[in-house]
Structure 1
Amino acid sequence: MTVTNRQSGTNVHEVADGIYRINTPVQIVGAQGFSFNQYLILDDQPLLFHTGPRRMFPLVREAAASVLPIEKLRYIAFSHVEADECGSLNEWLAAAPQSSPLCGAVAALVSIEDLADRAPRALADGEAISLGSRIVRWLDTPHLPHAWECGVLFEESTGTLLCGDLLTQPGADLPALTESDILGPSEAFRHAMDYYSHTRHAGPLLDKLIATAPTTLACMHGSAWRGDGAKLLRELAGALSGA
């Protein structure tokens, strides 16, 4: 792990081959510690998944620049429209002049075509694009865990599922990559915060993600996880069915 900003604790760790987790721990007044993660995929056309909040842009940019020249970024991607997902989208577009937003078709239609300073590359459910030697595939997950436009990206060569808020873990001092239980902490947090949408379609949507058989789950908050991702997602589906 490389700490890129000692004051904030922002750090970078390679969680899968050529995929880097950028992490900034935070303390929320009156609450437990928390963290924000972004994921940088290296290739001919590098991709950043999650931008971080707008005020966190200098920290995330500094961290990303420790891995590659920022101007080489080609895609700025995210799961859904929320400050920590795409709050600094336009700052990234300005810093990387050849880049464009990458998101699901619904996000492009209802928000990003207006909010972003450049037109987005909108992906349909199941659509894949090449970054060079890698393929990433967009999977719609409407209202899972929240937002109509929600979706995830699957990087095929490493089996990495960039799964957004699905397995959010509280805590500011967690390992970058773990094989330990993350479902227990994330379920405790979900029950306390009630931030899932309670969609009736969670089961079929999770079945679609299970079919990718991921070996790394790139979570937006907390540790990234390595192991039998299909098994963990089936356990999440079981927990949600009893919610």
Structure 2
Amino acid sequence: MYCVKKINDDLYWVGGSDRRLALFENAYPIPRGISYNSYVMLDEKTVLFDTVDRAITGQFLENVEAVLDGRNLDYIIVNHMEPDHCATLGEIVRRYPDVQVVCNAKTVPIINQFYEFGVDSRAIIVKEGDTLSTGKHNFTFYLAPMVHWPEVMVTYDTTDKVLFSADAFGTFGAMNGNIFADELNFERDWLDDSRRYYSNIVGKYGPSTMTLLKKLATLDIQLLCPLHGPVWRSDINWYVDKYLLWSSYEPEEKSVMIAYGSIYGNTENAANILACRLADQGVKNVVVYDVAVTHPSVLISEAFRCSHLVFASATYNSGIFSSMEHLLMDMKSHNVQNRTVALMENGTWGITAGKKMAEIISQMKNMTILDDMITIKSSVKEDQLTEINAMAEAIVKTL
């Protein structure tokens, strides 16, 4: 049985959620599931905006059929061709053989890579600023390459001021009946997953996101319809401001993340002592993570949020503790920058972790590494408490 949500007089949400999937893109844990959003516009011509992941094919097709209520499907606008949004495109074409596919020139070869239904004969190729009229509604298209695939575009309904934003403004998390952000406590319950989604999926491409945001700044957006997560109909500027901050790689908060890689607990002890000293000096926003048990996607998200990052690593195989090395390389690949960093290293012999961590961090943009790295030989000694206090003071001064 179908499950649709009416957004306005002629726009309907026809997506669905998957609560069984453990890893989004087979990489990122999604304990709260994921939604796949698709929308149908009923005008003189009918329009479907993107499709969904194969996991919810049955629900999606029932939803589309219910909203169309016997009408033919005239257009499908493909804003993004990644499989979580295009896996049912072939089935839509099979069920509605006269449908025309509206996309940009970069999308066509990708469709042909996934499908063999011959998109060229049914494609309407659009460029930056092109328009499409479906009767009452007029749509304008804006290219958004590398947010986060090269073919991405967004579609703006100039009639009702609706932006169909592809993967921009999406978030992890399944929909639970309420599809509008103002029906939820978004900042409390969804913001962390939104930041984790942005930083890990789109975060590498901050300049491309900034370019799109500059285009959108000229539009009057009354409804924001992403491909994952809640639909926005109020406080849209608040959410856009988050994207402006994240895409600029400026920290969201004056806060400290301490990430440690510890084998037998001695490096962990040093990290905990530092956290206590920061708290003693009045720093309220401190988070501490064990890199061996915390998924890197969480740590990447926190690196986008926090202004100050502390990395404490045991020396392992004459290098960095493996989980810590993975995190630092992940930060580099996601383009983390503009942070203040402090380093702690540990080892019983051949201590090299600090130097090697500094080498990786130095390859990132605008990373300020504080002087006086702390070197622990096996375990923290009484005389090193002064060093840890000094590191806490240095962090506080730069906060």
Q: TM-score normalised to the size of structure 1?
A: 0.85
Q: Distance in 1 between matches of 2:235 and 2:72?
A: 33
2-structure distance, mates of 1:141, 1:17:
28
Checking the alignment, whether the CA contact within 8 Å between 1:71 and 1:98 is kept in structure 2 is no
User: Offset of 1:72 from its aligned partner?
Assistant: 1.1
From the superposition, tell whether residues 57 and 112 of structure 1 become closer, same or farther in structure 2 (CA, over 3 Å): same
Higher gyration radius (CA): 2
The corresponding residue for 2:150 is 148
Gap change, CA 1:116 and 1:16, over 3 Å in 2: farther
- Are 2:24 and 1:22 aligned? no
Which of 193-202 and 208-217 deviates more?
193-202
1:7-66 alpha-carbon deviations (Å, 9 max, x no partner):
xxxx21112331111231212236311111111111111111111124533321101111
- Decide whether the 8 Å contact of 2:129 with 2:141 is kept in 1: yes
Q: Give, in angstroms, the shift of residue 194 of structure 1.
A: 4.2
2:139 alignment partner AA:
V
Query: What does the per-residue CA deviation read over 1:178-198, in whole Å, with 9 as the maximum and x for residues that have no partner?
Result: 22646824113333x344442
How many equivalent pairs are there?
Answer: 232
Relative to structure 1, is the Cα distance of residues 153 and 116 closer, same or farther in structure 2, using a 3 angstrom cutoff? farther
Partner Cα separation in structure 2 for residue 172 and residue 97 of structure 1: 31
Partner residue, 2:226: 219
For 2:234 and 2:116, the matched residues in 1 are separated by 36
Check whether the contact 1:64–1:70 (CA below 8 A) recurs between aligned residues. no
Q: Considering fraction of residues, name the structure with more helix.
A: 2
SS across alignment from 1:224: coil
Name the CA shift for 1:74/1:67 in 2 (closer, same or farther; >3 Å).
Answer: same
Structure 2 residues not aligned, in runs of 5+: 23-28, 250-303, 305-399
> What SS does structure 2 have at the residue aligned with 1:190?
helix
Which has the larger strand fraction? 1
Residues 1:12 and 2:15 aligned together: no
Contact kept, 8 Å, 1:46 with 1:73, in 2: the verdict is yes
Residue 74 of structure 1 deviates from its aligned partner by 0.8
What TM-score do you get using the length of structure 2 for normalisation?
0.54
Cα distance, 1:148 vs. partner? 0.6
The 2-side partners of 1:73 and 1:40 are apart by 9
Pair 121,54 (structure 1): closer, same or farther in 2 beyond 3 Å: farther
- Mapped contact 1:160–1:216 kept (Cα < 8 A): yes
Indicate which of 162, 168, 178 corresponds to 2:164: 162
C-alpha RMSD over aligned residues: 2.3
Structure 1 unaligned runs (5+)?
A: 6-10
Residue among 239, 244, 248 paired with 1:237: 244
What percent identity do the matched residue pairs reach? Answer: 22
Q: Partner of 1:66: helix, strand, or coil?
A: helix
